[in-house]
Amino acid sequence: MKNKSILLCFLILLIHPLLYSQNIPSIPDGEVIRYKTVVGKRNGETEYSSQSISLISEENREFYLVRSSSSAQSTETMITADTFIPVSMSKRIYGERSDIATTVALLNEPRLSADEIAVLDTNDLANILRAYPFENPRDMNLLFLGQGGEEMSSMSFRIIFNGEETVSLNNREYDAWKLEMKADLSGAMALFSSMIPKTIMWFSKEDSHHLLKMTGSRGPGADNVVNLEMISYTK
């Protein structure tokens, strides 16, 4: 009986990573994506950004090193390749008088349940959500992590699957999955849920699951509406 229990535990440990790995996207080493962002519906301000991803190895573990840059800021994020959790981030925001630099590094990697996705910063969303279980979609909780790996946001967000769509970009059509991020307030605060802008994201159905398009808002009013679109993808 004891030997059977040991064998069962071994099989569970063996199968579990295989089940989880089905949600991990196949991101090519050296992938580069360029985006165009328009802020505001009328006479909107246009900003261009680029992102590159490299697969690196540290202390016998593989990570995705994500570097992104625009005229407003630059970031560098390390994401575990096996569990797709961001473990460190450095950000530099460019100012008129002085730049602001911040660094966050997890002291402990969190244990996430099957319905949780974790980020350090909103900039992580475009890459972390590539690991969403598109083939077995379900609502998931979005966690903002602190230095110790604990949840630090006082406001809860949900990631909701909104089906499949065809996205047209640069005279080409892409098959895509559609996700929605919305505030999940409870109790008396639930009345304000509808006042918090939603964010809609479209991810490619290719193995890389890269972000194709995103719409959202930086605040109330048409001047804060944000539309992001991919303009090129190389690997």
Alpha-helical runs (H) found in the chain: 2-21, 125-128
C-alpha–C-alpha distance, residues 118 and 110, integer Å: 9
| pLDDT tens column, 86-137 | 999 999 999 988 999 999 899 888 888 889 999 998 889 999 999 999 999 9
How is the chain split into domains, by residue range?
2-234
| pLDDT tens column, 131-180 | 999 999 999 999 888 655 455 555 678 999 999 999 999 999 999 999 99
| Average pLDDT over all residues of the chain | 83
The top-level CATH class assigned to 2-234 is mainly beta
- Only one residue has tokens 């895509």, namely 176
The strand pairing partners of 58, in sequence order, are: 61
Please give the structure tokens belonging to residue 123: 């900039």
- The torsion of the CA quartet 179, 115, 21, 235, rounded to 10 degrees, works out to 30
Read off the pLDDT of each residue in 19-45 and give the average, rounded to a whole number: 80
Selected residue with higher pLDDT from 213 and 9: 213
Contacts of 204 by beta carbon, 8 Å cutoff, 6+ apart: 174, 175, 176, 210, 211, 212
C-alpha–C-alpha distance, residues 228 and 92, integer Å: 21
C-alpha–C-alpha distance, residues 211 and 204, integer Å: 6
The strand pair at 116-119 and 140-144 is best described as parallel
Read off the pLDDT of each residue in 189-205 and give the average, rounded to a whole number: 77
User: What confidence category does residue 3 fall into, taking pLDDT thresholds of 50, 70 and 90?
Assistant: very low
**Are 91 and 75 spatial neighbours (Cβ–Cβ below 8 Å)?**
yes
Predicted local distance difference test score (pLDDT) of residue 147: 54
3-state DSSP call for residue 126? helix
C-alpha–C-alpha distance, residues 210 and 64, integer Å: 14
Predicted local distance difference test score (pLDDT) of residue 67: 97
Element (H, E) at 14: helix 2-21
C-alpha–C-alpha distance, residues 180 and 199, integer Å: 6
User: What confidence category does residue 223 fall into, taking pLDDT thresholds of 50, 70 and 90?
Assistant: low
The rounded Cα 168 to chain-centroid distance in angstroms is 22
Opening angle at CA 165, ends 134 and 28, nearest 5: 50
